Amino acid sequence: MIVVTGGAGFIGSNIVKSLNKRGYTDILVVDNLTKGEKFKNLVDCDIADYQEKDIFLERLDTYDSIEAIFHQGACSSTTEWDGHYIMTNNYDYSKALLHYCLNHNAAFIYASSASVYGDGKVELPLNMYGYSKFLFDKYVSSFLTSCKSQIVGLRYFNVYGSREQHKGTMASVAYHFNQQLLTGDEVKLFEGTDGYADGEQRRDFIYVNDVANINLWFLDNPDKSGIFNVGTGRSQTFNDVARAVIAWHKRGKIKYIPFPEHLSGRYQSFTQADISALHNIGYENSFYTVEEGVKDYLNNINGNG
């Protein structure tokens, strides 16, 4: 059996769907469906069972046939400042799953985050979410050289794509730009900040199909462990994303809005993944560009136009 925590969420449900395409159906999805609209992400997926995350944790030691856990579940809000809530959900829960896998020789492939880097390449998170991921990565590192189980941490950069509609304000800019053009004729971007011109802040935007492919590659290569950046290795501007969305709709214009004060000092104006470690262990697949990924994404959620 394969377990996908956060399996009704954005990346988790894409992993489930990718497993289905390979013929895997003995899948246990673990999630918290308080936000019930996430069920839509599972409607076209073939799974064996579903379990709420608290119940799964209570019953974890009763399972003896888990081959791998794709641990995608977490509170992913970068604006959540309840430290107790974040650490219970993101840190303590992850440790429990890690130790299960270590004790049962199961693969543990988990979602970390580029937020551990804060506003640069040094590990200096700017928010509670980033700190919870940073601390767990550090905890995992102490086991990597001595354990027999596969342990993989994937530091996701800016992921976008299908099945993110439930994320609200935390959905990707590609999603929000698309929604803006479905109801109006303007795409809204932040004015310049940190020395960047209007809309020229840069991120390493990675399409969710590429993220799912990387997760499954590690399943195929159980001898590979470690903590890896998951991005394309190149940065593109928010203007690039906006132009790609406008190109798909064949209409629209960009409007720049004031940079929010509450994000000052807590905002990444530039990210670009160093994916040399991923290449060095043998991952050779190519990645979608923003232009390619946005086109495929909007074809999926809007129809082929």
> In the prediction, which pLDDT does 81 show?
83
Residue 147: the pLDDT is: 86
In a domain, 10, yes or no: yes
Domain presence at residue 172: yes
Give the pLDDT score at 169.
86
Residue 226 lies in a domain: yes
Known active-site residue 129: yes
Query: In this structure, are 169 and 197 located in the same domain?
Result: yes
Residue 29 has pLDDT above 60, yes or no: yes
- Structure confidence at residue 115 as a pLDDT band (50, 70, 90): confident
Same domain, 169 and 248: yes
User: Could you tell me if 12 and 111 lie in one domain?
Assistant: yes
129, 173: one domain: no
Question: pLDDT tens digits for 82-91?
Answer: 889 889 889 9
**In the annotation, is 131 catalytic?**
no
Q: What pLDDT was estimated at residue 35?
A: 85
DSSP symbol at 186: E
Same domain, 146 and 39: yes
**pTM to 2 decimal places:** 0.94
Query: Tell me, what CATH number does 110's domain have?
Result: 3.40.50.720
Asked if the model's pLDDT at residue 110 lies above 70, the reply is yes
Do 45 and 176 fall into the same domain? no
Residue 252 lies in a domain: yes
Predicted pLDDT at 168:
87
Residues 228, 177 share a domain: no
Taking all residues of the chain, what is their mean pLDDT, rounded to a whole number? 93
Per-residue pLDDT at 142 exceeds 80: yes
Active-site choice (50, 53, 63, 167)? 167
Same domain, 196 and 105: no
| Domain-embedded: residue 133 | yes
Contact of 10 with 77, CB cutoff 8 Å: no
Residue 176 sits in a domain whose CATH number is 3.90.25.10
pLDDT at 266: 67
> Sorting pLDDT into bands at 50, 70 and 90, what band is 121?
low
Domain count, the chain: 2
Does 145 fall in a domain? yes
Domain of residue 191, residue span = 165-202+235-272+290-302
- Helix, strand, or coil (residue 62): helix
Greater confidence (71 vs 170) lies with 71
pLDDT, one tens digit per residue, over 216-248 is 999 999 999 999 999 999 999 999 999 999 999
Q: What percent of the chain has pLDDT over 70?
A: 97
With 60 as the cut, is the pLDDT of residue 305 above it?
Answer: no
pLDDT 10s digits, 246-302: 999 999 999 999 998 877 766 778 889 999 999 999 999 999 999 999 999 999 999
Q: Which residue is catalytic, options 110, 129, 156, 207?
A: 129
The verdict on residue 285 lying in a domain is: no
* Res. 77 pLDDT band, cuts 50 70 90: confident
Look at residue 125 in the predicted model and tell me its pLDDT.
78
32, 51, 70, 155, 214 from 284: Cα distances, Å: 35, 35, 21, 18, 10
| Predicted local distance difference test score (pLDDT) of residue 129 | 86
Quick check: is 263 in a domain?
Answer: yes
Question: 193 or 108: whose pLDDT is higher?
Answer: 108
9 with 133, same domain: the answer is yes
pLDDT at 118 over 80: no
* Average pLDDT value for residue range 46-52: 97
**Average of per-residue pLDDT across 56-83:** 89
39 and 149, same domain (yes or no): yes
Q: What is the DSSP letter of 272?
A: -
143 Cβ contact list (under 8 Å, min separation 6): 98, 102, 151
Report the 10 Å Cβ neighbour count for 249. 17
Q: Say if residue 152 is in the same domain as residue 141.
A: yes
Do 118 and 188 belong together in one domain? no
Exposed, middle or buried, 70 (CB in 10 Å: 0-12/13-18/19+)?
Answer: buried
For range 130-140, the mean pLDDT: 93
